[in-house]
């Protein structure tokens, strides 16, 4: 694995020919019809049932280990539902392909569809296997022939890997993979799949009986279909043919012809009759975005207060402007060699089933090099790779874009084209990927600096032990409320609270328990008072409470609740915790210092009268009845 090796290619035959329906004249036909359709999920399912090569790509993408759910997609319907509409449409997003001498290819194509239709019909009638799975396996039953045909057409000089290796590499669901291997090897397969394999073989027999023949090696290159009413010599090899078989074969032919006709693929209709083809934006991935447009789209989240907003913008921009099918954001722990997936974008609602990836040694080396050089790394899988980053993501290649190399846990954008199989291009993709990486790194660093500044500002006004406001913030709040009271004449009451015998508690139980007592007192204050009230740690064991828009009578009720609740909290902790409170209210012309002076005097009055009580210094004060569980009542200085 290296950074952008020239023409890196695993040799995946589906990259050479990703879709049967991308053959130029076939593509013109079905796209002309699709322009007049809404193309919902059901329509896409019907279209995909006519394209075995697109199904192969979709089957792998729908069952990628990182996204695989508890129910693997073993039928075309499940495949489409798993991928969603946007990704299913991408299976047909490709440039038209010109194939020389396509008679055998088309014969193989129609034979595959007919076998799938026949197997599905048999499964419904016998009720022995799932009809959807029977259709899927029937559609793909000639996989070795497909691969040989594609390689002969597009990769004649390449070394051809056996179909079994590709089935293993693509990580199909176990029932599908085992059935395809059994059909390729002429075996019955595992006992649990014997009925499925037999159903597909019987379906192939019906397909041939319906004149959807399997192409022979010696077939000529004409582009005409055989007369469906002619008696083919090959039928002699099909064994005894009874009336039921003939009727079933007729049903197969009608269904195949109907499915092809639905999308204008009936070969009896000349292509020229359809007129010129208009562009369908549903099958055109946006490739016009320049680097400035990409940057602007990501910078739209500059003021985001969360990293998730930045991550979402990065992955969405990669999919939209980089024409990637999937984009993952992962944090990397180099010491443990683990990538933790935090987010993904792939135009579907699929959720991550595996959130950790363990890179193979070569992958880890490439990631480390990408971080050092701050350049994207191009990772390419080996045939049969089922583990590591590429194996778990279910892709043959991806671009790993480093972000924030200075962070304790750097990150990567993992970008792939696992659905369309479009190759990663060095010139275009490296520029876009680097731009995304640098922009994302700057946004993450900016958010980190803003958070540090906010944290510093917070700790400038917050007491670190009790998490209450500190003395500076309490005084500022008091001055603000005094000014507002002078202006509005609304009532204002102040409480000065002090833990009793706190030095004795520290000396007896230790300073750590003293800290526990202070935090418990702060918790009681927070729970008892309103969110609009200002509470601050005024000194060592002193607390200031500013009660805006609160009359003294209401404040005395709160004060009584406080010293009772704090004593109860001390009993729960096994600590002798009580509190003395001094209370005063605003008088016309008062300054903040005047309120503090009177509240402090009232506090000392409470201490002089035995502690664990409150005293008030207010105009026209009348003694308030003491709480039932407290023998000491409030006093006036």
- Give the confidence band of 45 by pLDDT, cuts at 50, 70, 90: very high
Cα Rg for the chain, rounded, in angstroms? 38
Partners of residue 413 on adjacent β-strands: 329, 401
**Domain stop point among 271, 303, 326:** 271
What pLDDT is stored for residue 158 in this prediction? 60
Enter the tokens of residue 106: 């088309």
* E-strand stretches of 12-106: none
CB neighbourhood size of 243 (10 A) = 7
State mean pLDDT over 262-279. Answer: 69
Cite the DSSP H helix spans in 374-425.
388-393
Average pLDDT, the chain: 84
CA 332 to chain centre: 17
**Domain stop point among 208, 236, 271:** 271
Enter the tokens of residue 582: 């001094």
Q: CA 420, 425, 427: angle at the middle one, nearest 5?
A: 150
pTM: 0.71
**Is the pLDDT at 631 greater than 50, yes or no?**
no
Smallest CA-to-CA distance from 76 within 93, 51, 101, 99 is with: 51
Least confident among 90-94, 196-200, 618-622 = 618-622
Within a domain: residue 629? no
DSSP-assigned letter for residue 193: G
Report the alpha-carbon distance of residue 371 to residue 411 in Å, rounded.
9
Within a domain: residue 185? yes
Could you tell me the CA-to-CA distances from 482 to 457, 471, 492, 534 in Å, in that order?
A: 24, 16, 8, 13
What pLDDT is stored for residue 4 in this prediction? 35
Which range of residues forms the domain containing residue 211? Answer: 16-271
State mean pLDDT over 550-576. Answer: 91
Q: How many domains does the chain have?
A: 3
Task: Give the model confidence (pLDDT) of 205-264 as tens digits.
Answer: 999 999 998 886 444 444 444 444 444 444 444 455 778 888 989 999 999 999 999 998
- Each as own residue / partner, the long-range contacts of residues 125-131 (CB below 8 Å, 24 or more positions apart, any chain) are 126/199, 128/195, 128/199, 129/195, 129/196, 129/199, 130/74, 130/75
Within a domain: residue 559? yes
Q: Are residues 330 and 441 in the same domain?
A: yes
**How many residues are there in the chain?**
637
What pLDDT is stored for residue 277 in this prediction? 59
Task: Give the model confidence (pLDDT) of 335-344 as tens digits.
Answer: 999 999 988 8
Percent pLDDT > 70 in the chain is 86
- Contact partners, residue 189, CB within 8 Å, separation at least 6: 178, 179, 181, 182, 183, 196, 197
Enter the tokens of residue 253: 């032919």
**Domain stop point among 222, 243, 271:** 271
Within a domain: residue 2? no
What pLDDT is stored for residue 38 in this prediction? 85
Report the alpha-carbon distance of residue 252 to residue 132 in Å, rounded.
16
Least confident among 80-94, 170-184, 280-294, 352-366 = 280-294
Task: Give the model confidence (pLDDT) of 609-627 as tens digits.
Answer: 888 888 998 875 444 333 3
State mean pLDDT over 574-578. Answer: 93
What pLDDT is stored for residue 224 in this prediction? 41
Edge-to-edge strand list for the sheet holding 579-585: 534-537, 542-548, 492-499, 579-585, 614-617
Report the alpha-carbon distance of residue 5 to residue 249 in Å, rounded.
51
**Is the pLDDT at 517 greater than 80, yes or no?**
yes
Q: Are residues 174 and 313 in the same domain?
A: no
Q: Are residues 208 and 255 in the same domain?
A: yes
Q: Are residues 306 and 381 in the same domain?
A: yes
Q: Are residues 210 and 342 in the same domain?
A: no
What pLDDT is stored for residue 102 in this prediction? 66
Report the alpha-carbon distance of residue 492 to residue 588 in Å, rounded.
11
DSSP-assigned letter for residue 627: P
**Is the pLDDT at 505 greater than 50, yes or no?**
yes
What pLDDT is stored for residue 284 in this prediction? 65
DSSP-assigned letter for residue 231: -
Report the alpha-carbon distance of residue 420 to residue 258 in Å, rounded.
28
What pLDDT is stored for residue 189 in this prediction? 82
State mean pLDDT over 396-422. Answer: 91
Report the alpha-carbon distance of residue 153 to residue 581 in Å, rounded.
92
- CATH number of 531's domain: 3.30.70.270
What pLDDT is stored for residue 69 in this prediction? 57
What pLDDT is stored for residue 597 in this prediction? 94
Task: Give the model confidence (pLDDT) of 436-491 as tens digits.
Answer: 888 888 888 888 888 888 777 767 788 889 999 999 899 999 999 999 999 999 99
Report the alpha-carbon distance of residue 560 to residue 634 in Å, rounded.
9
Who has greater pLDDT, 128 or 635?
A: 128
Enter the tokens of residue 541: 């064991």
Within a domain: residue 630? no
**Is the pLDDT at 628 greater than 50, yes or no?**
no
Tell me if 575 sits within 8 A of 484, measured CB to CB: no
Q: Are residues 96 and 214 in the same domain?
A: yes
What pLDDT is stored for residue 70 in this prediction? 54
Within a domain: residue 283? no
- CATH number of 84's domain: 1.10.3210
Tell me if 521 sits within 8 A of 543, measured CB to CB: yes
Q: Are residues 441 and 489 in the same domain?
A: no
What pLDDT is stored for residue 229 in this prediction? 46
């Amino acid at each position: 694995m290296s950074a952008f090796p020239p023409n890196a290619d695993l040799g995946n035959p589906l990259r050479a020919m990703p879709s049967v329906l991308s053959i130029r004249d076939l593509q013109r036909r079905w796209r002309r019809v699709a322009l007049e359709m809404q193309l919902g999920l059901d329509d896409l399912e019907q279209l995909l049932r006519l394209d075995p090569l697109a199904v192969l790509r979709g089957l792998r993408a729908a069952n990628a280990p990182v996204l695989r759910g508890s129910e693997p997609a073993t039928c075309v319907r499940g495949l489409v539902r798993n991928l969603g509409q946007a990704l299913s449409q991408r299976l047909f997003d490709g440039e038209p392909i010109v194939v020389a001498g396509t008679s055998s290819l088309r014969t193989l194509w129609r034979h595959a569809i007919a076998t799938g239709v026949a197997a599905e019909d048999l499964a419904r009638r016998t009720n022995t296997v799932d009809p959807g799975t029977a259709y899927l396996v029937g559609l793909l039953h000639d996989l070795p022939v497909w691969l040989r045909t594609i390689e002969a057409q597009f990769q004649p000089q390449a070394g051809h890997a056996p179909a079994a290796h590709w089935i293993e590499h693509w990580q199909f669901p176990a029932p599908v993979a085992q059935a395809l291997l059994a059909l390729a090897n002429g075996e019955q397969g595992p006992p649990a799949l014997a009925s499925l394999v037999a159903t597909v073989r019987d379906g192939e027999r019906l397909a041939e009986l319906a004149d959807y023949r399997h192409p022979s090696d010696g077939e000529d290159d004409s582009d005409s279909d055989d007369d469906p009413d002619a008696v083919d010599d090959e039928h002699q090899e099909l064994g005894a043919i009874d009336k039921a078989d003939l009727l079933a074969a007729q049903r197969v032919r009608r269904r195949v012809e109907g499915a092809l006709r639905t999308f204008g693929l009936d070969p009896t209709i000349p292509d020229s009759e359809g007129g010129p083809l208009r562009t369908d934006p549903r099958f055109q991935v946006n490739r016009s975005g320049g680097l400035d447009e990409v940057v602007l789209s990501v910078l739209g989240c500059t003021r985001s207060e969360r990293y998730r907003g930045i991550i979402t913008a990065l992955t969405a921009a990669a999919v939209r402007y980089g024409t990637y099918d999937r984009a993952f954001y992962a944090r990397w722990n180099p010491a443990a060699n683990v990538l933790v997936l935090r987010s993904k974008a792939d135009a579907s609602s699929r959720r991550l089933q595996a959130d950790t990836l363990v890179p193979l040694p070569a992958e880890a080396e490439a990631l480390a090099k990408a971080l050092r050089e701050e350049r994207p790394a191009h990772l390419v899988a080996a045939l049969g790779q089922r583990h590591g980053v590429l194996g778990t993501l279910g892709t043959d290649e991806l671009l790993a874009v480093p972000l924030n190399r200075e962070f304790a846990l750097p990150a990567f954008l993992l970008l792939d084209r696992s659905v369309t199989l479009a190759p990663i291009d060095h010139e275009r993709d490296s520029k876009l990927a680097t731009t995304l990486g640098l922009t994302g790194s700057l946004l993450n660093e900016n958010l980190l600096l803003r958070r540090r500044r906010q944290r510093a500002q917070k700790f400038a006004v917050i007491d670190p032990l009790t998490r209450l406001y500190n003395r500076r913030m309490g005084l500022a709040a008091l001055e603000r409320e005094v000014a507002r009271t002078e202006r509005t004449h609304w009532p204002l009451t102040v409480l000065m609270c002090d833990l009793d015998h706190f030095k004795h508690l520290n000396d007896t139980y230790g300073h750590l328990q003293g800290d526990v007592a202070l935090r418990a007192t702060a918790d009681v204050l927070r729970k008892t008072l309103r969110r609009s009230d200002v509470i601050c740690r005024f000194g060592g064991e002193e607390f200031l409470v500013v009660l805006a828009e609160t009359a003294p009578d209401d404040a005395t009720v709160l004060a009584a609740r406080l010293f009772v609740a704090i004593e109860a909290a001390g009993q729960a902790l096994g600590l002798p915790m009580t509190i003395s409170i001094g209370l005063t209210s605003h008088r016309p012309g008062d300054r903040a210092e005047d309120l503090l002076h009177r509240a402090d005097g009232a506090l000392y009055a409470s201490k002089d009268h035995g502690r664990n009580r409150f005293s008030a210094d207010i105009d026209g004060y009348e003694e308030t009845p003491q709480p039932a569980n407290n023998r000491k009542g409030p006093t006036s200085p």
